[in-house]
Chain A
Amino acid sequence: MTTATLAPESVGLTREEYEEIRRRLGRDPSPLELRMFGVMWSEHCGYKHSKLTLQLLPTDSPRLLQGPGENAGVLDIGGGWAVAFKMESHNHPSAVDPFNGAATGVGGIIRDILAMGARPIALVDSLRFGPLHETRSRRQAAGVIAGIAAYGNCVGIPTVAGELVTDPGYRGTPLVNVACVGLVRHRELARSRAAGPGNPVMLVGARTGRDGIGGAAFASEELDTASEREDRASVQIGDPFAGKLLIEATVDALRTGGVVAVQDLGAAGLTCASSEMAARGGVGMRLELELVPLREEEMRPDEILLSESQERMLLVVMPEAAERVASIYCRWGLRADVVGEVTGGPLLTVLRAGAPIVSLPPYALAEAPVYRPAAREPETLHARWAMPEVSQTDPAQALLALLAAPAVAVKRVAFEQYDHMVQVRTVVAPGAGDAAVLRLPELSPKGLALVCDGDGRLTSLDPYRGARRAVAEAAANLACVGATPLGLTDCLNFGSPENPEVFWTFRQAVTGIADACRAMKIPVVGGNVSFYNESPDGPVLPTPVITMVGVLEDVSSTCGAGFRRADDMIILIGKTDPDLAASFYVSAVHGMHAGRPADVDFDAHQRVLAVVRDAVARGWLSSAHDCSEGGAAIAVAECAALGGLGAEVILPAAPRADIALFGEAPSRFVLSLPEHRLRDFQALAAARSVPLTILGRIGGDRLRLAASTDHRWAIDLPLAEIAAAYDALSSIL
């Protein structure tokens, strides 16, 4: 360990980065310091390649209490309350060990919300795997779902919404993105800026062991199959029991008013938390290694400083509060040890046996260099926009195949494993509506709506439009339950940013999100970038995932997606020019990602959303569902399967039956309502110039769909067959 020299490459740094460290320190770093730089300047911690691009994202909102740069974003929801939320990836650990990787991902994002002083009230997960008929992907999916359940259920935070998508483009690079949402009173909002020289620094929660040493650096490396076994040692194991105690104790500790700053220990452990807290506060910090409670004997300083042992947090407390804070953690059966103090001088100092072994300015560690990577439009992009000739297949068979595809099928098998009802807030359960709805007894009758959306297929075909579509769809999903968007957090999953085509794609996607957010006036309050999702097959399907939070004024008027009453009218609103380009139908039935996705007309989109939202709030609608993968036919079939009611529907004519049935276009919704509401609703739509088509009526135990007015049913299937296809995942996972 004390070898005088250590090659920068051995800790993942370049020669240039090593020179930058020397410049910042005015000397050579010690081998220990170099290891700390290696982890802090990894892509995972340092955002070297993404930082400049992320500045494109708009963060302004009259409700903004905390934007990016803290553990999570925070937005005001009135009545002195605020909502804190953030999404994060745990892709690499989950690829290596699906169960533990996903479980610790949940634990980590929960602590980010907790670090804002918020009590976590919901989890949202967005999962992507290779095709589930392949054993490896199926095992990954089953392990990840079980891991999320194991952690989330034990800590008593309901998992209320999510996605499960499969595509060969995720084979070997599964994506596990988890968002957490918390509630906090304005006056109890906590932050991570260390302050007050002389204030004790406390390490609370679990002891420190040799978990996940160098995990952050590992997260920034490309995966190959052999690493799945060899990297096992750097996967952390979560302890949800300790995680639950940490939540309760930390909520109690923050209420004392004696906590100055708080941060989760995640990637790069104590190194990251101490340097970031000190850098944000513009102060120094002194840590004494002997004071850190260890789980194992004879741990080296670098192991202690870089350990990624879970269920730990770092607190800066007022001297007079230290004893009280410690006794709170003790009451919950956890440790709280003073491991150092805030100092006035701008140095992060680590002492061992009284002698400094690390001494450097916190910002030097915490602020990694920023790069402007080369960007180049992928050579094959335009070729992929050409639509090949697609033969018409049997519409009924296509409908059943699309319904059974994981992206569309009901995720009962996942949601039943998650406790989605604990905390007694869940009004619209996962799968029952386009977004989950939680009531807020604190602000009754208000509620929150949560949804996540992303589309790697669209993004790979046109990253700018694909990203805009994801933002538009998340807002559309919120409108279906009657919610107005409050803000979003994103998780950007891409391959290596050092590949100019990947970086171009990334930048286009971020630009798309930014433009969509500006058009809809939705702030991006935080997020996460996961690069280097690469397998021997190449980079992952580029996948920006959006988690959007919305507000409902009255949860009692919310709306589900399933048909509710026989004889209700079925309506399609929004433009009616669906297209097969980039459609899920062409992808899932014909096996091609092809065509250029249609862009969103945000002016029209906003008007349609307002109509849907208004109609839900007035209680006119029986059901509301947006048309996404699989077009109008699939939207109708889902409503029928969810509600257990058949229907007869005639879709607007199109050049071909499959275009009318399965063609896609943004900003379209399938709604149902009682006939006596029709006139009012037509007036509401007309007032905002939103096109409306009456499709048919609910009733019977068959689903009949026609693609024109020639009175021949293109699809005529018993409801039981529709329901069985829609529940296909239950027999696969």
Chain B
Amino acid sequence: MMRFGVVIFPASNCDRDCVHVLRTVLGQEVEEVWHEEQSLDGLDAVVLPGGFAYGDYLRAGAVAARAPVMAAVRAFAQVGGPVLGICNGFQILLEAGMLPGAMLRNAVLRFRCTMVHVRVESTQTPFTRTLREGQVLQMPIAHGEGNYFAPGSLLSTIEEAGQIVLRYCDAGGRVNHGANPNGSVRNVAGVRNPAGNVVGLMPHPERASEDVLGSGDGRLLFESVIMWLETRKRSLVGA
């Protein structure tokens, strides 16, 4: 059993959902990490949940990215700890400079909550290790600022480095304009850092982790990181 930290910022609102899935659905240990926390000692993985941290009043994620806990999250990531930012958590990781790019308002200028399909583009992360490239997942999105943007040169760099983790696609896995719910450049739905241990995505895997809610695909991401952590633990013990 692994020990997950779910960070709670003021006005995080998917924190309880992430705790529910990790604890009740997947049987993991979960610690709720307050935004003023300075240490993440004893955690195996960290989740930054969705919501409207600090109201998102300046820019989505901007204030939260400067919260005390983020120094600890950065340190945790620097030593290879897996960090997953979901929706607002992704925005926070971008604002914190832990992932490349920025978020603009949805091209439709509206909040959008709907089920989408995404295609796995990179399996070089703890969260997608057990998936295969090209695999199509069904998960919901719910955001007003999920229009991923990176200037041309940065975009080429991250594309070439394989840092795109998920792209919006249709049910058949085709990445096209019609499948893009928010105007994201090249349908980007999720990215990773060069090392691969920090991942941000706009879709909500925790809302797609139980069949009764319409999809169980999101659970695959959590199961992947659990397996990755178990393998790492075994190899450490073995060494």
Q: Which residues in A have some Cβ–Cβ distance to B below 8 Å?
A: 146, 149, 153-156, 239-241, 244-245, 332-333, 415-424, 426-427, 429, 439, 441, 555-556
Contacts and interface: CB of A to CB of B under 8 A. Distances in A.
Interface in B120-158: 140, 142, 144
Contacts of B206: 424
Contact of B52 (A153, A332, A333, A423): A153
B237 interface: no
B11 A154 contact: yes
B228 interface: no
B114 A556 contact: no
B213 A423 contact: no
Contact of A424 (B11, B20, B114): B20
State which size class the interface on B falls in.
Answer: 20 to 34
A417 B142 contact: no
B52 A420 contact: no
Contacts of A427: 212-213
Name the residue among B52, B111, B204, B210 with the largest chain A CB count within 10 angstroms. Answer: B111
A415 B206 CA distance: 20
A120 to B, nearest CB: 11
B13 A422 contact: yes
Contact of B55 (A240, A415, A419, A441): A240
Contacts of A156: 11, 13-14, 51
Nearest to A425: B213
B24 interface: yes
B10 interface: yes
Q: Which 10 A-B pairs have the closest CB atoms?
A: A156-B13, A241-B55, A154-B52, A244-B11, A419-B142, A424-B17, A419-B113, A417-B111, A421-B207, A149-B111
Contacts of A555: 212
Contact of A332 (B10, B142, B144): B10
Contact of B142 (A333, A422, A556): A422
B110 interface: yes
A244 B52 contact: yes
B10 A421 contact: no
Contacts of A429: 214
Contacts of A424: 17, 20-21, 206-207, 210, 213
> What's the dominant secondary structure at chain B's contact region?
mixed
Given A421-B140, A441-B20, A239 B55 contact: yes
A5 to B, nearest CB: 45
A422 B212 contact: no
Interface string B18-53: 001100100000000000000000000000001110
B17 A416 contact: no
A226 B51 CA distance: 39
A441 B20 CA distance: 10
B112 interface: yes
B213 A153 contact: no
A416 B106 CA distance: 13
Contacts of A417: 110-113
B142 A245 contact: no
A417 B111 CA distance: 5
Contacts of A241: 10-11, 52, 54-55, 57
A245 B16 CA distance: 14
Contacts of A146: 110
Contacts of B111: 149, 153, 416-419
Contacts of B204: 421
B112 to A, nearest CB: 5
Nearest to B15: A156
Given A244-B52, A418-B113, 12 more contacts: A153-B52, A153-B113, A154-B55, A155-B13, A241-B10, A241-B11, A415-B113, A419-B111, A419-B113, A423-B17, A426-B213, A439-B212
A218 B62 CA distance: 39
Contact of B113 (A240, A420, A441): A420
Contacts of B55: 154, 239-241
B142 A240 contact: no
Nearest to A154: B52
Name the residue among A332, A418, A420, A421 with the largest chain B CB count within 10 angstroms. Answer: A421
A333 B214 CA distance: 36
Nearest to B113: A419
A421 B142 contact: yes
A618 B44 CA distance: 44
A424 B19 CA distance: 11
A7 B57 CA distance: 44
B11 A423 contact: no
A149 B56 CA distance: 14
B52 A240 contact: yes
Contacts of A154: 11, 13, 52, 55-56
A333 B55 CA distance: 12
Contacts of A333: 10
B179 to A, nearest CB: 15
A64 to B, nearest CB: 29
A135 to B, nearest CB: 18
A239 to B, nearest CB: 7
Contacts of A415: 113
Name the residue among B113, B204, B210 with the largest chain A CB count within 10 angstroms. Answer: B113
A555 B142 CA distance: 24
B18 to A, nearest CB: 9
A427 B213 CA distance: 5
B212 A245 contact: no
A330 to B, nearest CB: 12
A444 B55 CA distance: 33
Interface in B178-229: 204, 206-207, 210, 212-214
Given A419-B142, A424-B206, A245 B11 contact: yes
Interface string B37-81: 000000000000011101111000000000000000000000000
Nearest to B206: A424
A703 B95 CA distance: 51
B176 to A, nearest CB: 19
